[in-house]
């Protein structure tokens, strides 16, 4: 990940609490996330979509809203990065919060106006679009 960040192929945000790193979100372009790439002819194109692929929150800081704060930052900065689309991939089975919610729970994205694009066996694809500078659900 360090090499991907240095090369510019990965992008993310760190959250700090009292000067200490407390959380992370990977907000790279979908084109750089091999697990989620759609491919040639995708609509929207892979290079035009931010892929929220994972969160990492240190145990003492879980349950204090850092994931939501990080997602709000991704949404706020997307237009400045030239992106009008943000996608997320929460697991469908949310029974083990500590291990399975590293992609964020579905409820997080619902609360931020994401809409279901596709429900796959293990996870769902959710998306929001920034229309005229105001984030709205895709559709």
Residue 32: inside a domain, yes or no?
A: yes
For residue 100, is it within any domain? yes
pLDDT at position 97: 55
The string of pLDDT tens digits covering residues 11-64 is: 899 999 999 999 999 999 888 876 676 778 888 888 889 999 889 999 999 889
The reply to whether 101 falls in a domain is yes
* 5 falls within a domain: no
* pTM of the full structure: 0.86
| Residue 20 counted as domain residue | yes
The rounded distance, in Å, linking the Cα atoms of 55 and 65 is 12
Using CB atoms within 10 Å of the CB of residue 29, give its burial: 0 to 12 exposed, 13 to 18 middle, 19+ buried. buried
Average pLDDT over residues 92-105: 73
Q: What's the rounded mean pLDDT across residues 80-91?
A: 92
Domain that holds residue 43: 11-137
Residue at 6 is within a domain = no
Given a cut of 70, whether residue 137 has pLDDT beyond it is no
With respect to residue 3, please indicate whether it lies within any of the assigned structural domains: no
- Give the count of domains, the chain: 1
The Cα 135–Cα 138 span in angstroms is: 9
Q: Which pLDDT score, from 0 to 100, does residue 102 have?
A: 86
Whether 4 is in a domain gets the answer: no
**CATH of residue 109:** 3.40.630.30
- Token pair 């919610």 is at which residue? 101
pLDDT for 36-50, tens place per residue?
A: 767 788 888 888 899
């Amino acid at each position: 990940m360090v090499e991907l960040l240095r090369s510019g192929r990965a992008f993310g945000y760190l959250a700090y609490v009292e000067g200490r790193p407390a959380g992370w979100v990977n907000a790279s372009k979908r084109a750089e996330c091999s697990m989620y790439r759609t491919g040639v002819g995708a609509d929207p194109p892979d290079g035009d979509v931010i892929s929220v692929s994972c969160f990492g929150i240190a145990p003492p800081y879980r349950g204090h809203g850092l994931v939501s704060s990080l997602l709000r930052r991704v949404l706020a900065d997307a237009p400045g990065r030239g992106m009008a689309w943000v996608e997320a991939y929460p697991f469908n089975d949310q029974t083990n919060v500590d291990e399975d919610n590293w992609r964020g729970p579905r409820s997080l994205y619902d609360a931020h106006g994401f809409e279901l694009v596709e429900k796959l066996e293990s996870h769902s694809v959710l998306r929001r679009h920034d229309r005229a500078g105001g984030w709205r659900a895709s559709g």
